[in-house]
Amino acid sequence: MSDLNISVEQLYIELRRRILTGEYTGGLKLSENKLAKEFHVSRMPVRESFKHLEQDGLLTILPKSGTYVRSQSLGEVKEILEVRTFLEALAIRLVIERGEEPSEPEECLSLMADLLERKDFDAVAFGEIHFRFHRSLVQLAGNTMLTETYDKMRFRSSRHVFFSPMTPSEQKLTHREHEKIIALIREKNPVKAEQFIITHLWKRKRKNLIALIEEQNPN
């Protein structure tokens, strides 16, 4: 991707894509000069993109050292998954108690289904809609503190949470589980819904993601 007229936003999106897809691995040092040359821009747009990515939690900028793709330790990923699980378990209970209509999550389901049908599957686009599905459930809970806490965790920028690679069968299973979440909301059974979302987010996914991280970081 090279464009003489590339904007800071376009550059940010492309660098974010490279990080989330694993093209840029954790710990990699990024060079302002090399990226400026690649994209035919001055160093200023690169620097601005770096700042945005640091705010997302995807880069670490160290004075007098450089800019690095941020790594997440196994312990950190475990903690993120555990906190996220129980925030969403609370959210789904509140959604049912409030009698909310899950129209936005259903719209996300439709968009994810369309992506799954494409031959040129876009993992980043799927991850973005996947995040939107779960965040919309949190927002439907109608609890400002819950939504603010969820957003502070920066789940959208965690490659291991929404952007980890999945096989086609895993993608389809995830989609079926999302459909089940919506069905349980409509059944208005908060206990069953809580139990299911804990299974969906923690018991299986947590185990699979931890295994993936250990495989990528054997030491």
Please indicate, yes or no, whether residues 203 and 179 belong to a single structural domain of this protein: yes
pLDDT score of 3: 46
Q: What percentage of the chain carries pLDDT values higher than 90? A: 62
Please indicate, yes or no, whether residues 86 and 41 belong to a single structural domain of this protein: no
| Cα 110 from Cα 144, distance rounded (Å) | 27
User: Are the C-beta atoms of residues 212 and 167 closer than 8 Å to each other?
Assistant: no
Please indicate, yes or no, whether residues 63 and 93 belong to a single structural domain of this protein: no
Please indicate, yes or no, whether residues 17 and 108 belong to a single structural domain of this protein: no
| Cα 11 from Cα 15, distance rounded (Å) | 6
Q: Which whole number is the average pLDDT over 148-161?
A: 84
Which residues make beta-bridge pairs with 30?
67
Q: Which of 54, 69, 84 is the last residue of a domain?
A: 69
Pairing of β 66-69 and β 29-30:
antiparallel
- The boundaries of the domain holding residue 168 are 74-216
The pTM (predicted TM-score) of the whole model is 0.81
Q: How many domains does the chain have?
A: 2
- Average pLDDT over the chain, rounded to whole? 88
Please indicate, yes or no, whether residues 107 and 123 belong to a single structural domain of this protein: yes
Convert the pLDDT of each residue in 13-51 to its tens digit.
999 999 988 899 889 999 999 999 999 999 999 999 999
Residue 93, both tokens: 């209970």
> At 31, which CATH number?
1.10.10.10
